[in-house]
Structure 1
Amino acid sequence: MSTDSGTATIRVATPADAEPVQAIYAPFCDSSAVTFEESAPAVSDMADRIDSTLEDYPWLVCEHDGEVVGYAYASQLRKRRAYQWTVELSVYVAEDARAGGVGRGLYESLFAVLERQGVCDAYAVTTMPNPETEAFHERLGFERLVDFPAMGYSNGEWRDVAWWRRSLSVKPAEPEPITPFDELRENAAVEELLAVGEETLHR
């Protein structure tokens, strides 16, 4: 599948997207060590994850001709108030939609939304080795901060983990609390922010 033809859009996810989102995510659990979640969550659990995430952070999906082919979301990095200006990102793309700009488009939209919320830094955590993921984050301006050797045991092997960071905005001396995503959706034209990534899909 390629987004070069047909209609590709990026929109905010809903719990009704749980089934296609779970279908995209499941292979990463069942047949690889990309995620340390070794069994795929049930569709109902995925719906709960989407619903709870959207209170504070964006969860986006990319549709191609009406079919969900990828998704990305932000989540809390750590619980204490001092960390509220940082988030952790995740992105997953269906196997037959990779190398078509879907992951980049989703991230570009995510960056735009998060910056509007007041988030300053985005982090990504990747299981290594993973050359495609490394190259992807480097292309999007992430800095590889640190590697943790043999940090997790998954699928019969000890796995290294790398942490990456991308700055989204300049850190103010006295930052305002970030705007929860559900509040942002009420007071801002989120569609304009999502369009930032859609431009990537159609280049």
Structure 2
Amino acid sequence: MHIRPAAATDVPALTDLYNHYVVHTPVTFDIAPVSPENRRAWFQAHPETGRHRLLVAEDGDGGLLGYASSSPFKDRQAYETSVETSVYLAPGRTGRGIGAVLYGALFDVLAGEDVHRAYAGITQPNAASMRLHERFGFRPAGLLQQVGRKFDQYWDVAMLEKRFGER
């Protein structure tokens, strides 16, 4: 496995991976699949330096195993030292430690940036994601009850917070 910053050529594979979760799971609240054009803007908001990063894991043949990102938490300036993080793995690649390697690499690069807090919103139930985030120092910050409706069901989202300098 190789971890590296995402490249523009990854956008189609990143879009396909994300759309799997859009179509088949409640972990993202997008309802309809996104287009590669839509994801290009998202990709461009994640440069190779700074607080907002996008790292990919690939196998020995260059196949996408997953990605981890840090994005703006909110768009107002006072929030700039807070980020929202996420990790998505290719179907069939969960439970193998890839998410932990990706998150470890993401938090290593963010340690050198002006980041004070990281937040993650996890659709419930999702015990595996909760364990992964807790492993990296995320702690409960609240529960948004029935905040999203997808697949004709309302979903809770656990909000988690990570203080930087802890791991």
Fold match (TM-score > 0.5)? yes
Give yes or no for contact 1:19–1:43 (8 Å, CA) kept in 2: yes
Q: Is 1:14–1:51's contact at 8 Å kept on the other side of the alignment?
A: no
Q: Partner of 1:84 in structure 2? A: 80
Where 2:33 maps in the other structure, the secondary structure is: coil
Q: 2:36 & 2:75 partners in 1: Cα distance?
A: 26
- State the secondary structure of the residue aligned to 2:67: strand
Q: Once the 2 structures are TM-superposed, how far is the Cα of residue 169 of structure 1 from its aligned partner? A: 2.8
Aligned to 1:47: 40
Q: Secondary structure in 1 aligned to 2:92?
A: helix
Which structure 1 residue ranges, 4+ long, deviate > 3 Å from structure 2? none
Listed one character per residue, the Cα deviations across residues 88-116 of structure 1 (whole Å, up to 9, x for unaligned) are: 00110012222221111111111111121
- TM-aligned CA deviation for residue 120 of structure 1: 1.5
- After superposition, residues 101-120 of structure 1 pair within 5 angstroms as 101-120=97-116
Which of residues 23, 32, 35 is equivalent to 2:25? 32
Map 1:102-141; keep pairs closer than 5 Å: 102-141=98-137
Is the Cα contact below 8 Å between 1:17 and 1:47 reproduced in 2? no
Structure with the bigger percentage of helix = 1
Q: What SS does structure 2 have at the residue aligned with 1:116?
A: coil
How far apart are the structure 1 equivalents of 2:20 and 2:2?
A: 24
Query: 2:59 is matched with which residue?
Result: 64
Q: In structure 2, how many angstroms separate the alpha carbons of the residues matched to 1:79 and 1:42?
A: 23
Work out which of the residue numbers 128, 131, 142 in structure 1 matches 2:138.
142
Instruction: Find out whether 1:158 has 2:154 as its counterpart.
Output: yes
Counterpart for residue 16 of structure 2: 23
User: Between Structure 1 and Structure 2, whose CA radius of gyration is higher?
Assistant: 1
For residues 104 and 28 of structure 1, the distance between their equivalents in structure 2, rounded to whole angstroms, comes to 19
What is the CA–CA distance in structure 2 between the aligned matches of 1:148 and 1:47, rounded to whole Å?
30
Amino acid at match of 1:53: H
Percent identity over the alignment is 30
- Could you tell me which amino acid in structure 1 is paired with residue 55 of structure 2? L
Cα separation, 2, equivalents of 1:149 and 1:98: 26
Task: Supply the distance in 2 between the matched residues of 1:98 and 1:45 (Cα, whole angstroms).
Answer: 26
Query: Quick one: distance in 1 between partners of 2:97 and 2:25?
Result: 22
- How many pairs are equivalent? 163
Report the Cα distance in structure 2 between the residues aligned to 1:79 and 1:48, rounded to whole angstroms: 16
Residue type of the alignment partner of 2:125: P
What is the alpha-carbon distance in structure 1 between the residues aligned to residue 164 and residue 111 of structure 2? 6
Match of 2:4 in 1: 11
Cα RMSD after superposing both structures: 1.5
* Structure 1 counterpart of 2:58, one-letter code: E
